[in-house]
Every structure is written in C-alpha cells, then in structure tokens.
Structure 1
Amino acid sequence: MSNFASSKNLSQRMTSELGRAIVCGEYPRDKSLPTEAALCDKFGVSRTAVREAIKMLTAKGLISSKPKQGIRILPEEHWNILDAEMLSWSLQAKPSLHVLKEFTQMRMAVEPEACALAARHASQERLAEIEHALKRMELSVENNDQAAELQADIDFHVAILYATENRFYIRMRDFTTTALNVSIQHTNPAIANPKGVVEEHARIFNAIKTGNAERARNSMFLLIDEALSIIEQKLDQA
C-alpha cells in the first residue's frame, strides 16, 4: 500500500499517483474508481487529500465525480492531453510510441510556423538564447555528453517558442519540454551522425537570425519529418 503520510502536499502526490495509474490503464475504463474511503485506505491519506486530488483530476478532464454515480473515468477525448502532467503520464503508458507519433505530428503543425514567426519577430535577446542553446548542443556532442545534449536540444526548441513573441506559442513550453524529453531520447540515438543533428539545428537558427521565414519554416519541417520517420519505423518493428 502506498503511503504518502510524510509528504507536505499529499493531494498533489496522490493526484500524480492516481492520475498515472488511470492513464496507464491500471483501472478498468468501464467501471467506477474505488470510493473515497477506499482511496484513503489505499494511499494512506485523509479524505481531504483524496477530494483535492479528485478535483485536480476532474479539472484535467480525466474523471468525473457525481453523487450516486461515484468516480468515473471519462473517455479519452475529454482528457486535457495538452496538460504537461497528463502528457507525462501518457508517455509512461504502453505503447508510448503511439503517443510520441501523435505529438510529433502536432509538432509539424506548430514548430515550423513558430520558426517563421521567430524569423520575423525575434529580438536580439531571444536570438541570443537560441544561439546559446545551439552552442551548448555543439559542445555536448563534442564531449559526448548525452544528458547535456538532450537538455540543450530541448532548450533550443523552447527558445524558439519564446522568440515568436506570441503568448499562445510560449504557453506550449511545458508541453513541449515534457514530450521532447522522451522523444529526443528515441530519435537521436537512431541518427548515425550526431554532428549532423547539430548542423540541422544550426540551419534553423541561421534562417531565423537572417529573417528568412520560409527557410526557417522548411528547415524545422524537415527536422521534425525525420524524427517522425524514425518513430514510424520503430512502430513498424514493434
């Protein structure tokens, strides 16, 4: 039995544990979840913590809780999968490659246009942030530091979102960070030439820096298309 009694925030801990369990299919989708009393016993928390967790998961579109109906898991179309925490749970489910494929398809609709906007609107400060991430990528590849390379790669893509100066794109940062943290670990090892990955990112940055929106858009599209092809190959082999 899980016991979160020593946690300073029991409801958040329980939200994470219960949410992950639901998304990963540990509870039957066509039946009600255990009662509040049963959840209190299972997780070793108070009824208040359980109710707070239920509120949080309801806000994410994962469950509904109504009198006489109990706590029910909602159909997946109601789930707020743009929520970074929800995405993290989905990536822990099996098969996570299907989630990555959907995420990469969404990237193809978002990031190329983000690059075009960045080419038009990026300030010198924003350009410096993209360049700094690129230089860190170069250094980490030279040092064969995969953890540093992963973080720099993620920072590169997030910096482009900020460079759009568009609040809606910027709000994609947590979602993008969460998914790229898993996606890049699947795709980069499949690419024989790590320096080539850096060169592809450099082409994107140079297009943004010179204000060439069309080239920036196309360069990012090609980068994501390559990642999508790798994920699809892995799915075919699964």
Structure 2
Amino acid sequence: MSEPGSLIRARSGRSAAPNFHSFIINEIGAGIVAGRFPVGTILPRDAELMDTYGVSRTVLREALKTLEAKGLVEARPKVGTRVSPKSRWQLFDQQVLLWHFEAGLDPQFVGYLFDIRRLLELETVRLAAKLRTADHIRMLYYWLQQMSVSRGMADSFALATLELHRILADTSQNPMLRAALGVTEFTLAAAMPAGDSRDNSSFYETAITRRRNLVQAVEAGNVVEAETSILQAIDADLAGARSRSSAGILQNGH
C-alpha cells in the first residue's frame, strides 16, 4: 500500500519497492494502468511472469490477488488472469492513483478528480468550522507556516499543504473524509510547479493566501467563509494543473 505523500514524491522519480511482493504489484499494476497490459487481454502465464520478474509462484499469486482486490484483474479458471475493464478499477485506491500519475496524466481524469475534491472538501470545511478545537487550530497554523517557509520547493510545499488538508479532515471527525485524502494529494501533485524554483512565486503566494483565509475562517467558526475559501483554493490548484498541462508537463507525469 502506498503511504500518504507517495504521489507527491513520485513527481521526483519512482521510489524502489521495499520487497518482491510490492515490486510485482507495482510492475504489473503500473503496466496495466499505462496500457502495457491492455484491458481485456490475458496476462502472460505464471511461468513467464515468474521468469520475467524473478519471483516465486507464491509471491506472484499473492501479488495478483492484491491486484484483483484493486479491481485491475480477474482470475478465470482454465482461462488465466484477465485485465478488467476500467469501470471496475478502484480509482480511490492510493496505489491506483499513483500508477495513473506515473503513467502520464489525462487532463480529463485530473478534472474529474478536482470535481470530487470540491464535493469532499466542502463538507470537510463545513464540519471543521463547527468542530475545531484549539489543538486543531494550532496545527493548522503550524502547517500554514511550513508552507510559507517551503516557497519555491515544490515537493516540500505540496507535502506541507497536504498536511494542512489532513488536519482539516481530522477536524471534521469523519473518517471517510480522512480516507479520501488521496484525491486531494493527487490534485496537489498535479498542480505544483515542476522543480524547485521561486520563478512561480505567484502560485505559492496565492496558495498560501487562500489557505490562510481558510484557516482563519475555520478558527472563527465561519462556515460560509470557509466554503468560499476552500473553493478558491481548489480553483487556484486547478489553474496550476491546467498551466502544467498546457506546458506539456502534465501528460508525462513530471
């Protein structure tokens, strides 16, 4: 399973899998999402996959079970393991999102995720403005400060921003909103400027200003202002993602 922040870190290059089981899941899963194993096709036989990846049958079978749970494949007796239709893929799964990011992002797919993020985070900030505690507010301001000191460092800035949104989700006291943070992380990763540079100062300043307004609204318990602020923050992130797309960056995932 991918850890929080893995989508953002993937911007700087794919990290090594910690063991053979994870390695096989990553290789086959990423291959399916990227189209190297097309939808509807049968995966190579076990012996061929074992030889290709240098793993045992046990490791391979366990990896295929994991991919089946994610909706990417289905095992059929006497037929083999078939790549499932995209409609069955678990698109909220953190690893599946990561594979989409690594494969090169479809702007339409990114747009769908921003639509979902609006729905989720509107409810998040409504609840946060009603249920916030002094500790929550303290942590929100801490991560706002971390965003400020990370200007120009894209990945560090994105990770600090993700932590701020994580605290908001915790404040909502709704575990489902906390579990859906992968959507927010994906859109943040798509929005961030490429590389470390202060040339994108307007992007960073806008992101910080929007979050500062949001935190202040949550602190004051102002639900309407919190809703306005989160929508402005999301719109700013969407503008960043579109800017990367028009520059030819979004399609290749870097």
2:231 corresponds to which residue? Answer: 221
> Which whole-Å deviations, capped at 9, do the CAs of 1:102-143 have from their partners, x for residues lacking one?
2112111111221111000122222221111001112223xx
2: CA distance between counterparts of 1:94 and 1:110?
25
1:65 corresponds to which residue? Answer: 75
| 1:47 pairs with 2:57 | yes
- Bigger mean CA offset, 56-65 vs 33-42: 33-42
How far residue 191 of structure 1 moved from its aligned partner, in angstroms, is 6.7
From 201, 220, 223, give the equivalent of 1:210: 220
Q: Secondary structure at the match of 1:227?
A: helix
CA contact (8 A) 1:161 1:169 kept: yes
> Which whole-Å deviations, capped at 9, do the CAs of 1:117-175 have from their partners, x for residues lacking one?
1000122222221111001112223xx44443222111111111111011111112345
How far residue 197 of structure 1 moved from its aligned partner, in angstroms, is 2.1
CA contact (8 A) 2:125 2:223 kept: yes
| 1:140 pairs with 2:147 | no
From 156, 173, 176, give the equivalent of 1:168: 176
1:119 corresponds to which residue? Answer: 129
CA RMSD of aligned residues (A): 2.3
2:205 corresponds to which residue? Answer: 195
2: CA distance between counterparts of 1:29 and 1:122?
45
- Going from structure 1 to structure 2, the CA distance change for 1:12 and 1:230 (only over 3 Å counts) comes to closer
- Bigger mean CA offset, 94-103 vs 220-229: 94-103
1:56 corresponds to which residue? Answer: 66
From 21, 28, 38, give the equivalent of 2:48: 38
1:4 corresponds to which residue? Answer: none
From 181, 186, 189, give the equivalent of 1:182: 189
Give the counterpart letter for 2:173 in structure 1: E
CA contact (8 A) 1:101 1:232 kept: no
From 152, 176, 181, give the equivalent of 2:160: 152
1:90 corresponds to which residue? Answer: 100
1: CA distance between counterparts of 2:103 and 2:164?
27
2: CA distance between counterparts of 1:220 and 1:69?
49
Q: TM-score, normalised by structure 1?
A: 0.87
- Going from structure 1 to structure 2, the CA distance change for 1:30 and 1:189 (only over 3 Å counts) comes to farther
CA contact (8 A) 2:203 2:240 kept: no
Residue ranges of structure 1 left out of the alignment (5+ in a row): 1-6
2:110 corresponds to which residue? Answer: 100
CA contact (8 A) 1:90 1:99 kept: no
- Going from structure 1 to structure 2, the CA distance change for 1:8 and 1:76 (only over 3 Å counts) comes to closer
- Going from structure 1 to structure 2, the CA distance change for 1:125 and 1:215 (only over 3 Å counts) comes to same
1:24 corresponds to which residue? Answer: 34
2: CA distance between counterparts of 1:189 and 1:68?
58
Kindly tell me the number of residue pairs found equivalent between the two proteins.
Answer: 229
In our comparison, the structure showing a higher alpha carbon Rg is 1
CA contact (8 A) 1:118 1:163 kept: yes
Q: TM-score, normalised by structure 2?
A: 0.81
- Going from structure 1 to structure 2, the CA distance change for 1:27 and 1:146 (only over 3 Å counts) comes to closer
2: CA distance between counterparts of 1:197 and 1:233?
15
Q: Secondary structure at the match of 2:150?
A: helix
2: CA distance between counterparts of 1:70 and 1:133?
49
